[in-house]
Structures are given as structure tokens and as C-alpha cells.
A and B are shown apart, each in its own frame.
Chain A
Amino acid sequence: MNLLIDAVYFVTAAIFIIGLKQMSSPVTAHRGIVWAGIAMLVASVATFGAPQITLDIGNINLQLMLVAIIVGSAVAYISAKRVAMTDMPQMIAMYNGMGGGAAAAIAAVELVKLSGGAESHGLTVQVLAVLGAVIGAVSFSGSVIAFAKLQGIMKKTLRLPLHQVINIALFAAVAVFGYLVATGHPVSFDYVIIFFVLAIVLGVMVTLPIGGADMPVVISLFNALTGLAVAFEGFVLNNAAMIIAGTVVGSSGTLLTQLMAKAMNRPISNVLFSSFGSDGGAAAEEDIEGSMKEIQANDAAIMMAYGQKVIIVPGYGMAVAQAQHKLKEMQDLLEARGVDVKYAIHPVAGRMPGHMNVLLAEAGVDYDKILDLDEINPEFPTADVALVIGANDVVNPVARTNPDSPIYGMPILDADHAHNVIVIKRGKGAGFSGIENHLFYADNTQMLYGDGQKAVAELIAGIKAL
């Protein structure tokens, strides 16, 4: 029986790797996740045959286990089915936090057993359990904070005086108690409790000062960390599937995090250790030339309908307003009049790389109309209109011009190079990062205030009326 279970785990790990590979191509991606899903299901069912589990329905462990599986699955299933596509990033953070929490809880049970006088499996095992516990706990509490921020439950980026010093002190304290727990013979129960409380607080404190604009990178980082925590607990439990799957996620997640951080031109250390927009915002406000000019929807519609080329720059505001379907409708109308319409997607537009692509694909926009930064930037000077909808920092020219700006050096979409720029924006406030956008004050920019979906509907009405 044991051999059979090990064989199942082996095949599961292999299918996970193949599944991830398939998920990196649009054609095979769907097949990849379905295969991985089947493998996970089989592995879970096979685990009921493990020697540690008493397969007797009168057994309290089994009863509670089944209840836990049903409750956890049901809550996750319903929430994942119901959540709007726009809120997906924070749900990923949430499910990731659950995984980290589970890894930490596994370590907790093992350490509590050791504190109760159970026989130790050696120093290496204890050290790995503690490492997985720290990483899992930080990933858990950090993901919860990330969720709260993206969901809007927690609006402000909190930054205590001497925040970095406190974090370093916390980290040192976690390290000390982690060492005491890992080397304890027997392990002190009090130390285990203090250790976990400190690790959870550390996750909260690390995530609190990070602004929403950096959240995609942070969620990706926590995803990689959870993978590592799972791998470490896999060593503790002597479970090959957990070791391999966890490590693969750990390394691929790290690579993904690097790709994202690179796209934002912000080293990961900056993301973690400096607050975005909290001090740079004030400095950037000083010398803005010009003023914001308002435009009516009808005038904007005429400008686009009689142009040759329109480039649409969507951002998170489009996602919030669910304006992608209206945009597609407007695109069809404009194309019927012979206007060339394209979409320009910044690598970090929205809350995650690819977020905009997903939403536009949902609305039925063709792939070849959606271009990324390098492809579209040379086209802006030939565009009659750049329509910026709900995007802000990714079109802010200070990233090119002002070395003092926190976003200086970040590659941006050169929307300001278009003949005319129309910005659809809900209000006059600064962007998510709190940095003033000089594009809004430029001579060739005009503002169309209003909710994204309504504004595009007005544009559609305007084009139809011509």
C-alpha cells in the first residue's frame, strides 16, 4: 500500500511539472491545469490509504479531517466561482495565504508533538520544520494583509516611525526563538507559541508599508515563499510530492517575481524596504506646468471617429468600471469607420501582469490588437488619439524626466507622444501610488471625467450620432 501511494505521489509530481509547462503556452494552458487538477485529486484520495490515517468512520481524526476538507473546499469553491474577474488578484493572494498557513500549521503540529515529549527525528528535521514554519507564517499573514489592501478593507499604507528598525528587530527575535525551538530537547511549548506569534506579526509588519502598486510583485513573492514552505514541510513529512511541487513553485515563483519587478524597474529590495509614493509624491507636485482641461464626450468622439489611428491604454480603472465590453463595442464602431484601433498594455497595468489581457480577451478583443510596451511605443507619434482609460502611473512622463520621482526609470507607455490624449478618469485625485501625473497637465491632453463604463458609453453614443 505504501509503495502504491509513493508511486501516486511520484506521478503527481511529474504531472504538476508537465502541467506548469503546458500553462506557459496559451494553446495548452487549459489542458495543463485540468491535468494538474486530476493529479491533485488522485493524490489526495490516495493519501487516505496512508498508514498515518485510520480509515474508520468512527475515528475522530478522520471525521474532523473530512469536515475540514468539505468546509475548506466549499468556502474556496463558492468564493472562487462568485468573485468578479477584477477581484481575482486578491483572491489569489487569499488562496496563497491559506497554503502558507497550512504549511505553518503542519509545522506547528509537529513542534507541539515534540514539546509533548515525542521522539525527535533529528536536528535537520527540526530545523527544516522551523524554516518552513517561519516562511509559511509570514506568507500567511502577509497575504491576508495584501488581500485586505487590494479588497479596499485597508486603505492606508501604514508606516511606523523606525519601521525598518522594528522589522529587523522582529526578524532577529524570530530567528532567536526559531533557533531555540529548532535545537530544543525537548522543545519548550512556550517558545513554540512565542515563535509563531512573532512570525505572524513579522508577515504583517513587512507587508503593511507596501503600497498597492507594488502588490502584484509581493503576491508573487509570497506565492514563491509558500512553495518553499511546502517543500520544507515535505522534507519533514518525508513526502516527495510536496518536496518536488513546492520547490518547483518556489523557483518558478521567484523567476516570475523577478520578471515582474524588472517590468516595473524596481528591484525587489526596493519593493520590500521602501514605501512607494509616500515621500516621493510631495516632491513631484512642485513644478507642474499647465492645467487640466476638460473635454465633453461628443467632442472626444468626433476626435476619434475622424482620426486614422486610436490607441487605447487601459489600466486598473477600466477593470474596476468593467468597461472592457463597452471598449470592444466602441472599437467595432471605430473600425467600421476605417479607424485603426489598437490596445497598449503596460506590463504592470492593472494589479497583475496579464490582468488587462485577460479582461480584454473576455470581451472578445483579438490578440493581434493587443500590443505590449515595446511593440506599441514607436506607434504613439503616429496616433491621432491616445485614449487613456483608468491608467495613471504607467503613462506618467515623470518616469522619463524626473530623477527624484519614485517611479523614475520605470518603462512607460509614451501616450504623451500622440497628437491628442484623452484621459478618462473618475476624479481629479492622484493615482494609486499617490504621484501627480504630469501627462494630465500636458497641452495635448484633455480630461473626460466620469466612471469608465459610462464615459465609454457616451463616446459610443457620440460616434453613433455622427
Chain B
Amino acid sequence: MIEGLPALYIFMLSAFTGYEVISRVPVILHTPLMSGSNFVHGIVLVGAMIVMGNAEGALELTIGFIAVAMAAGNAVGGYVATVRMLEMFHTAKPKNEGAQ
């Protein structure tokens, strides 16, 4: 267990990192970025898998199953949604350059 002060340090530094990373984002990217960060917390999948591996008995297995399924949905859905959004900028860009 990462405990006590080291845990707090990790928490604090990560919090500042998150704040810094998106502090200068153009409005145009707000929605894709929200979707992207939605994908990033899909990492909950690894936690769900570990809990599922440890589960004993029908109740724990059921809840574990729900956890893994939802986490996988978060990760995959978040990824596909973000890529689809960003692809639009992708195809629009060469056109833009051609026009200039």
C-alpha cells in the first residue's frame, strides 16, 4: 500500500499535472478533450480485473462481472468516441492548408 505522505504527494502532484496539462486548450478542443479524459479514467478496468480475479462467491462474482463489463465499456467507448471526433479535424486539415 502506498500510504501516508507519499500517497498525498502522488495525489497532489497528479492534481497539479492535470490542471497544467489542459490550462491552455482552445475551445474547439473542449469536447474531444472531455471525451479523451473520459477514456483515460477507463483505466479503472485494470482495477476491476484485479478485483474480479479475487472475487469469491456468487455475489462478489456478479458485482465483479458488472465492474469489468462497465469498465471495458468506459475504455472502449471513450476511445472510439474520441477518435471519431478527432478524425473530423484530421480530414478537414489538408483542405484548410490547400485553401491558404
Q: How far is the CA of A365 from the CA of B40 in the complex (A)?
A: 30
Collect the chain B residues with CB atoms within 8 Å of residue A102's CB: 44-45, 47-48, 66-68, 70-71, 74
| Residues B73 and A98 in contact, CB atoms below 8 Å apart | yes
Contact indicator B38/A96 (Cβ below 8 Å)? yes
A32 CA to B81 CA in the complex, in Å? 14
Known: A230-B47, A253-B37, A256-B22. A94 touches B77 (CB 8 A): yes
Contact B32 A37 (CB under 8 A): no
A105 to B61 alpha-carbon distance, docked (Å): 11
Decide yes or no: A68 and B68 within 8 Å by CB, A52-B53, A247-B18, A361-B92 being known contacts: yes
A-B contact count (CB 8 A): 384
A382 to B86, CA, bound (A): 34
B73–A353 touching, CB < 8 Å: no
CB of B81 to closest CB in A, whole Å: 5
Q: How far is the CB of A2 from chain B (nearest CB, A)?
A: 12
For B95, the closest partner residue in chain A by CB is A364
Query: Once the chains are docked, how many angstroms separate the CA of A371 from the CA of B73?
Result: 35
Q: Total interface residues on B, using CB and 8 Å?
A: 85
Residues of B within 8 A of A241 (CB): 43, 46
Interface check A180, CB cutoff 8 A: no
Contact yes or no, A105 B81, CB < 8 A: no
- With A357-B27, A357-B28 known to touch, is A29 a contact of B50 (CB < 8 Å)? no
With contacts A77-B76, A354-B30 taken as known, whether A105 is within 8 angstroms of B63 at the C-beta atoms is yes
Given A88-B85, A91-B81: A247 and B15 within 8 A (CB)?
A: yes
Main secondary structure of the interface of B (DSSP, over half): helix
A73 touching B73, Cβ below 8 Å: yes
Q: How far is the CB of B92 from chain A (nearest CB, A)?
A: 4
- A247 near B74 with CB under 8 A, answer no
Q: Are B71 and A98 in contact (CB under 8 A)?
A: yes
Can you list, as one digit per residue, whether each of A333-376 has a CB less than 8 Å from chain B (1) or not (0)? 00000000000010100001111011001101111101010000
Is A72's CB under 8 angstroms from B99's CB?
no
Nearest-neighbour CB distance to chain B for A95, whole angstroms, equals 4
In the assembled complex, A54 has its CB within 8 A of some CB on chain B: yes
Chain B stretch 56-72: residues in CB contact (< 8 A) with chain A = 56-57, 59-61, 63-72
Which residues 5-43 of B sit at the A interface, judged by CB distance below 8 A? 7, 10-11, 14-19, 21-43
A173 is an interface residue with CB less than 8 A from chain B? no
Number of interface residues of A (CB under 8 A): 119
The answer to whether A245 and B47 touch across the interface, beta carbons within 8 angstroms, is no
- Is there an interface contact between A64 and B65, defined as CB atoms closer than 8 Å? yes
Would A24 and B72 count as touching, CB distance under 8 A? no
Given contacts A30-B86, A259-B30, contact A95 B74 (CB under 8 A): yes
A420 within 8 A of B: no
Q: Is the CB of A105 within 8 A of B10?
A: no
Q: Give chain B residues whose Cβ lies under 8 Å from the Cβ of A48.
A: 49
Q: Is the CB of B46 within 8 A of A26?
A: no
* Contact between A240 and B79, CB atoms less than 8 A apart: no
Assess A226 versus B63: contact at CB under 8 Å? Given A65-B49, A250-B15: no
Q: What is the bound-complex CA distance between A451 and B38, given in angstroms?
A: 33
Contact of B38 among A92, A234, A368 (CB under 8 A): A92
What is the CA–CA distance of A235 and B9 in the complex, to the nearest angstrom?
Answer: 13
A422 at the interface (CB under 8 A from B): no
A29-B29, A76-B72 given; 10 more Cβ-contact pairs under 8 Å:
A30-B90, A36-B36, A50-B50, A68-B66, A80-B76, A99-B74, A102-B67, A247-B15, A251-B14, A253-B34
Name 13 interchain pairs, CB-CB below 8 A, sorted by A. A20-B36, A37-B39, A47-B49, A53-B52, A68-B68, A71-B72, A88-B31, A96-B38, A105-B66, A106-B48, A239-B50, A352-B34, A362-B92
Give the 7 A-B residue pairs with the shortest CB-CB distance, closest first. A72-B72, A76-B77, A251-B18, A53-B53, A105-B67, A247-B14, A80-B80
